[in-house]
Amino acid sequence: MEAKEMDRFRQILQGKKAELIALIQKTENYGREADNESETMDIADKATSSYTKEFMFSKSNNDRQLMQMITEALARIEDGAFGECLNCGEDVEIRRLEAVPWARLCRNCQELAEEGRI
């Protein structure tokens, strides 16, 4: 991949990372506020609140996973290995990277992975 193109993906990934950091912090603040409120709530409110908290928690787990993948993609840019499939070493399709800049596998290998074959 050309350096210019890699730079473009670096910017996209850094932007996404900043967005995620803001989102994760917001979710954590929300969790803390919900904790403070729970003392004055009745049982129905508490049930709703714990459901919401669980939802926010699983969502923030996804965010963390995504964050991990973005961090790894940025590290691959530093190594000059960005855009190569981690399984077969071929170039990941640019169109795929446009849609999912943190993609680790080319489309073929992604399909194999989803079928549990690699």
**Nearest to Zn ion of 64, 107 (CB atom):** 107
x/- letters, 26..65, toward Zn ion (CB under 5 A): ----------------------------------------
Sequence-distant (6+) residues with CB within 8 A of 114 are none
Could you say which of 6, 87, 93, 96 contacts Zn ion (CB under 5 A)? 87
106 forms part of the interface with Zn ion (CB under 5 A): yes
**Contact status, residue 118 vs residue 87, Cβ threshold 8 Å:** yes
| DSSP states of 29-92 | HHHHHHHHHGGG--HHHHHHHHHHHHHHHHHHHHHHHHHHHHHHHHHHHHHT-TTB-TTT-PBP
* Nearest distance from C-beta of residue 89 to Zn ion, angstroms: 7
* Nearest distance from C-beta of residue 94 to Zn ion, angstroms: 14
Q: Which stretch binds Zn ion (CB under 5 A): 19-27, 59-67, 70-78, 86-94?
A: 86-94
24, two tokens:
């994760």
* Nearest distance from C-beta of residue 69 to Zn ion, angstroms: 16
DSSP state of 117: -
Binding site for Zn ion (CB under 5 A): 85, 87-88, 106, 109
